[in-house]
Amino acid sequence: MSAVIVPASSTVQQTGAAVGGLRGLVADWSGDRQTFKVSWGKAMMWIFLVSDTFIFSCFLTGYMTVRVSTTVGWPNPSEVFALNVGGVEVPMLLIAIMTFVLISSSGTMAMAVNFAYRRDRINAATLMIVTATLGEMFVGMQAFEWSKLILGEGVRPWGNPMGASQFGSAFFMITGFHGLHVTCGVIYLFVTAYRLLHGHYEKSGNYQIVEIAGLYWHFVDLVWVFIFALFYLW
């Protein structure tokens, strides 16, 4: 009887045994396998977030460099971002509300991921809609903040009557880029929640898309923490 030779890759797939050396590396990175036990969707989201981290890091580093090198006085954030309530200027009130809303949305997103892994698509989708609604509130308050500075205070990307001219360009670039991310996240969450409610993921039984959306949303919230600390509190 002639011997049957089984390829090493087939042995790995059938038995789950690890193969060392170059052959093992090739088997791990084959197109039909999951490297490091991570799905391609989650891996691609992590790669995107890492690249986005570099972009935000460059923006914030550039802002800090301009802030410490300018010879003109930098506007006082407590005065610039004060909100008039009943004739009294309350420092940082709007920014505090925006931060509370966005950080709260991280909690609802985490609960949505928890329900998704329990295969409770109704509660998961509902919490995703709540998260997206909080994101909409944040963007709306940011639009109000922009209109107040542009129309009320005369701040422009190329000039600023309250101090250093670089203030306007840094503010609109950093907060605008972050606001774009929040807006894209809101659309992403609404679309995913809609598909979740209509049973799009029932056939595959894979609700990992909710966790992937959660990774993006938590990243957006984390970036805002750095923007809040370096731009509004410094």
Q: Confidence class of residue 33 from pLDDT cuts 50, 70 and 90? A: low
> The pTM is what?
0.84
Residue 29: phi and psi, rounded to 5, are: -100, 15
Q: What is the mean pLDDT of the chain?
A: 87
User: What local confidence, expressed as pLDDT, does residue 36 receive?
Assistant: 63
* Span 56-78, average pLDDT: 92
Q: Confidence class of residue 34 from pLDDT cuts 50, 70 and 90? A: low
Q: Which letter does DSSP use for residue 159 in this model?
A: B
Interatomic CA distance for residues 157 and 160, integer angstroms = 8
Residue 197 zone, left/alpha/beta (φ > 0; ψ -120 to 50; rest): alpha
User: What local confidence, expressed as pLDDT, does residue 35 receive?
Assistant: 57
pLDDT tens digits, 139-194: 999 999 999 999 988 889 888 888 888 999 999 999 999 999 999 999 999 999 99
User: What local confidence, expressed as pLDDT, does residue 23 receive?
Assistant: 79
Strand-pair partners of 159: 156
CATH number of 37-232: 1.20.120.80
3-state secondary structure 67-93: HHHCCCCCCCHHHHCCEEECCEEECCH
Q: Confidence class of residue 41 from pLDDT cuts 50, 70 and 90? A: confident
* Span 227-231, average pLDDT: 93
Interatomic CA distance for residues 134 and 127, integer angstroms = 11
pLDDT tens digits, 116-146: 999 999 999 999 999 999 999 999 999 999 9
Amino acid 126 reads T
Contact 130, 225 (CB under 8 A): no
Q: Confidence class of residue 19 from pLDDT cuts 50, 70 and 90? A: low
Domain segments of the chain as ranges:
1-33, 37-232
Any residues with CB less than 8 A from the CB of 122 and at least 6 apart, and which? 197
Interatomic CA distance for residues 206 and 115, integer angstroms = 13
Residue 199 zone, left/alpha/beta (φ > 0; ψ -120 to 50; rest): left
How far does CA 112 lie from the centroid of its chain? Answer: 16
